[in-house]
Amino acid sequence: MGMTITEKILAAHAEMDNVRPGDFLQAQVDMALANDITAPLAIQVFDEIGREQLFDREKVALVPDHFVPNKDIPSAEQAKLMREFARKYDVKNYFEVGEMGIEHVILPEKGLVIPGDLVIGADSHTCTYGALGAFASGVGSTDLGVIMATGKIWLKVPPTIKVWFESELLPWVGGKDLILYLLGELGVEGANYRSIEFTGPVIQKLSMDSRFTMANMAVEGGAKNGIFEADEITKAYVTERSSRQPQYWKSDPDADYEREITIDVGQIQPQVAFPHSPDNVRPVSEATDIRPDQVFIGSCTNGRMEDLQQAAEVLKGRAVARGLRLIVIPGSPDIYKKAIREGIIETFLEAGATIGPPSCGPCLGGHLGILAEGEKCVSTSNRNFIGRMGHPESEVYLVNPVVAAASAVLGRIGLPDEM
């Protein structure tokens, strides 16, 4: 019996010839990462272990991206603790304010993750890197502290769900809509401790930015990881960013899948995830009566260059609806600079948007756009749980960047066709 991409990566990192779902193994980690919220506890665990150095100073990444620039004294203390740890252990991939962006945007951007890698992060959306053909998964801070000391992790091999996307995309439909639609089919527990393998002719045409979006939200279905087979689009992305040698894996023809799902994308409208769950999805045509107080374009899900370009195309020459707030946050300094050079930032500003520094922003309800009681937000982020973006009686609706931009102009959820 053959193996899936995920099984092959885990076997290689455990120095095993063959693995099967349910097997327990100890694997070598290529990159361990944490942010300003999760690093402090991981650092405490590392200190308790008593190691005098990291397992590899070049294979640990620390990115302050959640509450920075610091919003209050506690967040400043967290960032300070991480900064001092990075200095003490000479962490090569520590990114200070000014050079940092959202961790799941800048690590691929800087070539720190490549196909075939095994990446573990103290953040649930570490699964983003599966877009590159890497095994990537989130863990708790305690686990990460041990990984920083040892470079190893115990894992159970997950069974794989194969999702085949076919047909042709309708206008305004992108990777965000494909993953939201899939979540509507699976439910938030439908892929618990499974690997989701995205494949099919539609996937082969998707940009890297769209693939990052889909892999990012695999965890919203409970998945251990989401993964794509690396192809020429992946190779082009990686080649200009890293000098390391990638390992390109593909699933065997006789690989064993727990389940196979076929999705005809020609039937998928732009999707809207209603409160309070990413799987509570409806087509945009059933959401046009929702009038948001705020629109957020950004996050590790949709804060990349393609996302900003699409939103700017909609907003060009138009203005944000009166009484509505539009917040745009580029995912990294490089994306911010490119957006300036292309006139995208000016387009946003002329439309009436406010631009935030590269960071997670309001996504987790901690900084730069918290919602008040009763307010509604249309967001390109990945979660809309109760209180996710602020007050427990606020509401968050998840959409793609085009729908977000159109909604900001219309003053209600809608499409560019309606303007």
pLDDT tens-digit map of 44-85: 999 999 999 999 999 999 999 999 999 999 999 999 999 999
SS3 state at 312: helix
Specify the CATH number of the domain 274-418. Answer: 3.30.499.10
Averaged confidence pLDDT in the chain: 97
Residue 381, pLDDT > 90, answer: yes
d(CA 340, CA 65): 21
Tell how strand 160-166 and strand 259-264 pair up.
parallel
Q: How is the chain split into domains, by residue range?
A: 5-263, 274-418
> What mean pLDDT do residues 131-136 have?
98
CA 97 to each of CA 23, 64, 119, 327, 329: distance values in angstroms, whole numbers, following the listed order: 41, 7, 23, 20, 15
- Has residue 1 got a pLDDT over 90? no
Q: Which residue has the tokens 């406010």?
A: 354
Give me the mean pLDDT over the 322-349 stretch: 98
Q: Which has the closest alpha carbon to 381: 272, 300, 291?
A: 300
Percent of the chain with pLDDT strictly greater than 90? 99
Length of the chain in residues, anyone?
A: 419
Cα–Cα dist 104/94, whole Å: 14
Of 183, 186, 154, 148, give the one whose Cα is nearest residue 61. Answer: 148
- Beta bridge partner(s), residue 91: none
- Region 169-181: what's the mean pLDDT? 98
> pTM for this one?
0.96
Q: What was the pLDDT predicted at 273? A: 98
Three-state SS for 210? Answer: helix
Single-letter amino acid code for the residue at 9: I
With residue 35 as reference, give the H or E element that holds it.
strand 31-35
Strands 60-63 and 93-94: parallel
Q: What is the mean pLDDT of residues 290-294?
A: 98
Examine domains 5-263 and 274-418 and report if their fold is the same. yes
AA identity, residue 297 = I
Q: Label the pairing between strands 93-94 and 376-379.
A: unpaired
| Topology annotation, domain 5-263 | Aconitase; domain 3 (3.30.499)
Q: What is the pLDDT of residue 79?
A: 96
Compute the distance between CA of residue 123 and CA of residue 342 in angstroms, rounded to an integer: 32
pLDDT of residue 366: 87
Tokens 């998840």 belong to which residue?
Answer: 398
Q: Which residue has the tokens 């580029």?
A: 330
Residue 12 has pLDDT above 90, yes or no: yes
Residue 10 φ then ψ, to 5°: -65, -40
b/e 205-233 (16+ beta carbons within 10 angstroms → b): ebebbbbbbbbbbbbbbbbbbbbbbbeeb
Q: What percent of the chain has pLDDT over 70?
A: 100
The helix/strand/coil state of 154 is strand
Distance CA(61)–CA(10), nearest Å, equals: 21
14 — pLDDT class (breaks 50, 70, 90) = very high
Q: For strands 24-28 and 152-156, give the pairing.
A: antiparallel
